[in-house]
Chain A
Amino acid sequence: MIDLLLALTLPLVALGVLLARELFRAVVMFIAFGLLMALVWVRLQAPDLALAEAAIGAGLTGVLLLDALGHLRQPHPPGQPLRSLLPLLTILALVLAGALGLVLLGALLEPLQPSVNLPAEVALHIEASGVAHPVTAVLLAFRAWDTLLEVAVILVAVVVGLALRFSHDDAAAESRVSSPLLQGMLSWLLPLMLLVALYLLWIGSYRSGGAFQAAAVMAAMLVLLRLSGQQLPGQNHPLLLRAGLVGGLGTFLLLGSVQLLQGGAFLAWPEQLAGAFILLVETALTFSLALLLYALFEASPAPARKGHPPRTGDQPS
């Protein structure tokens, strides 16, 4: 019952996101959608995903979107969000979507005949993986290759952000919110967040949680710090910061190569020390990922400052 209701709500909220007249409303709806998704993951018995979705999918993405939104005017008049140039394209898209929907429905309702029972495989080998939590085992043992590359993916996004940052205007010059109340609150909230992050990291090896969730919390902490106008430790040491950014990937690579250099396979953990290795990798990943996620936010090109509005010569009316 509740599943049906939730499942029905999701597309409705999505529709709201797509059809919202104002962009701001659309983004807020999207954040709400993300939170709903987190609930859905709970119902799908995927607490890891719920955590990640809330922190990353809704939280970080939301912050990113809102932040970007703050720097963009809306050249389109509000309303008619689905305005497209060609009516033909609209019809085509709708027909296409309908067809895809039918096909998808057929595919989703078809009886399943998996040829392999992967959950059983996971259960069978989890002992050897070095951790007790299956999701962590998949992420950092069975499919560590994916995870390694995924870290590289984030790094690429950050690097592009860094490359496109305007060198001349320092983002710190922006007006940031500050108030004594905020400072006071932060002074005990931040340690708490750090604690939570470390807890998530630690718990990851046998229960829901892990590097990504922990990193998301830590990144949120950094974003908060940044928004409150405080200097980040090491902010003036670009090399240190960069080392932090690549640290996760580097550690992953190095620890993954330990066995390789001894004639074993890449990303194979030493038999007795698998748990420790994974924890090490996760720790490095947590800090590095936190920096990376934070950098995704931070590295965005700084906006035009007040009084220097962007050139609007060729702005369509």
Chain B
Amino acid sequence: MLSWLTEGPSLLPWLVILPLLWSILSLTAGQRLQPLIATTAVGLILLATLLVLLQWLQRGDHFYSLGDWAVPLGIRLRLDGLALLLLLLTSGITSVCTLHAGRYLQEYPRAKTYFWPLLAFCWAAMNVIWLSADLFNLYVGLELLGFSAVGLVALTGEKKALAASLRYLYAALLGSLAWLLGVALIYGHQGQLDISSLALTFTDSISGQAALALMTLGLLLKMAAFPLHSWLPPAHASALPPVSALLSGLVAKAAFYILVRLWLEMAPDNLTFSAAQLLGALGAAAVFWGGWMACRQQQLKMLVAYSTVAQLGYLLLLFPLTTGTGEEATRLAWEGGWLQLTSHALAKAAMFLAAGNLVLAMGRPDLPGLHGAGRYLPFSLLGFGLAGVSLMGLPPSGGFMAKWLLLQSALLSGQWWWILVLLSGSALSAVYIFKVYQQCYVESDNPDRFRQPALVLDLSALALALLALALGILSAWPQWLISTALPGGAA
């Protein structure tokens, strides 16, 4: 076994093949077979992810040349600690979402047929992006991800969902175009597309800067950074809960992931102090604006969706905190940023699942609909609460650990203004999260309208929330995983 892990072929392609196979099968098989296929596929993908983890533990970072064609001609997959973290995260969250969806979709018989293939495509696309080291391949991956996500949002065919998905699609398309143009410039000037190879030859030129700027713009649009965020809240709020969880938890992170690879890996020398500060400022603006808008929402899912805008803003603080701030501050910010991503992914997915359950249970999508929910204390409410703890960055949660690291980094690098952003952002998130909690304690006039959601719905939300919480206590391992991928500093 051990020798197979060290010497056997890498299992990376399976992480994409399996979801693709799943989608093919679920498109051709009948309705009755879907649960079986889904279970098998999720099981196999989880297994593959675990084996990939074991392989990585044995042999460390490695590349996988597809079709045995070497770079620059071919495309290669790249596995490092960061990619592995996201793979694990994706597998974990998506399988819980699958579990949730399996039960939840019984309410939506029509959407059910095409939900599974789209979900599988989405999964495949995410894995493609985490593993990809090729600029154009990332374009295809982004499109695959964007289309399947748009499809998932539109699945209910409701008016709101359609408007939201159209908005989402157009934003995604615009973002992809900007990315594609950047790729075109880079290929024209550099003659290659592999990120790691480009890192060696990337020079400070007009075309290089223009390409980076374009790609950054596209990615910012795709990750809904302020002020390009307006497409996100309706899309995430109007989708089915498992879809929202997936989108907010994982899909929105893909663009950020690429952004980091781009700047910190491909062109670290091109990131000037002011550019990094600008990115950070956008993040800060998102934190405030998203938080403020979340406070103003009356619909539960809209509130959660705006909170995503705010939380994604924190991620952008990674750039100012890693640019020219010294080794220790860079390390802290790097770990803090990715830990923030991880904990937000878990917490937000939990929160959307829980919110969906609560809406289902209470029969109303708005905040006053929650009146009296505290009486029944469904696990979903508990899940929502625990996820909220992580989002607020209160201990003991992953969110707290992440913010702690970011704060430390800011303090160490003397950029005290980010401390203010982090602290006041946390306060702002406390406001909107307690706004929800508070509703649950109000006694309702009609206590009997509560409808207990199925246990699996409740538990899937709770499980993710507990994971987000546990990340606060067990963050040493993820932290180590992240630290192995520190660009430049790993060696």
> A residues bordering B, Cβ < 8 Å?
103-104, 106-108, 110, 112-118, 121-122, 125, 141-146, 148-150, 152-153, 155-157, 159-160, 162-164, 167, 239, 242-243, 245-246, 249-250, 253, 257, 260, 263-269
Contacts and interface: CB of A to CB of B under 8 A. Distances in A.
B140 A149 contact: yes
Interface in B350-390: none
Contacts of B69: 125, 141-142
B38 interface: no
Contacts of A242: 27-28
A266 B191 contact: no
A243 B28 CA distance: 6
7 contacts: A149-B137, A162-B114, A163-B155, A164-B157, A253-B20, A264-B9, A265-B66
Interface in B104-136: 110-111, 113-114, 117-118, 121, 124-125, 128, 136
Contacts of A269: 67
Given A106-B206, A107-B207, A242-B27, A267 B20 contact: no
A148 B19 CA distance: 13
Interface residues of B, number: 60
A257 B121 contact: no
Interface of B: 8-9, 13, 17, 20-21, 23-24, 27-28, 30, 64-69, 72-75, 110-111, 113-114, 117-118, 121, 124-125, 128, 136-137, 140-141, 143-144, 147-148, 150-151, 154-155, 157, 181, 185, 188-192, 197, 201, 203, 205-207, 210-211, 213
A162 B151 CA distance: 10
Contacts of A148: 20
A142 B17 contact: no
Given A118-B192, A153-B147, A142 B20 contact: no
Nearest to B194: A116
Contacts of B144: 149, 152-153, 156
A121 B66 contact: no
Contacts of B72: 116, 118, 121
B65 A265 contact: yes
A164 to B, nearest CB: 6
A145 B154 contact: no
Contact of A160 (B68, B151, B191): B151
Nearest to B141: A149
B190 to A, nearest CB: 6
Contact of A152 (B8, B124, B211): B124
Contact of A142 (B74, B118, B128, B201): B74
A110 B73 CA distance: 25
Given A108-B207, A125-B69, A266-B13, 4 more contacts: A116-B191, A149-B125, A152-B23, A155-B23
B75 A143 contact: yes
The binding surface of chain B is classed by DSSP as helix
A164 B24 contact: no
Contact of A121 (B9, B73, B148): B73
A122 B73 CA distance: 7
A148 B128 CA distance: 12
Nearest to B139: A146
Contact of B191 (A115, A143, A144, A156): A115
B151 A156 contact: yes
A103 B205 CA distance: 11
Contacts of B20: 148, 152, 249, 253
Contacts of B30: 239
Contact of B67 (A142, A155, A159): A142
Contacts of B13: 260, 265-267
A200 to B, nearest CB: 23
B354 to A, nearest CB: 26
Contact of A159 (B151, B191, B210): B151
Contacts of B154: 160, 163-164
Contact of B27 (A146, A159, A263): A159
Nearest to B197: A116
A108 B186 CA distance: 11
A304 B17 CA distance: 40
A19 to B, nearest CB: 20
A239 B33 CA distance: 14
A257 to B, nearest CB: 7
Which 6 A-B pairs have CB atoms at the shortest separation, nearest pair first? A114-B191, A163-B114, A160-B151, A266-B13, A107-B207, A267-B67
Contact of B73 (A103, A118, A149): A118
B192 A116 contact: yes
Contacts of B118: 156, 159-160, 163
B189 A112 contact: yes
Nearest to A257: B17
B148 A156 contact: yes
Given A107-B211, A145-B66, A115 B205 contact: no
Contacts of B141: 149
A150 B226 CA distance: 30
Nearest to B191: A114
Contacts of A243: 28
A275 to B, nearest CB: 14
Contact of A268 (B67, B110, B137, B150): B67
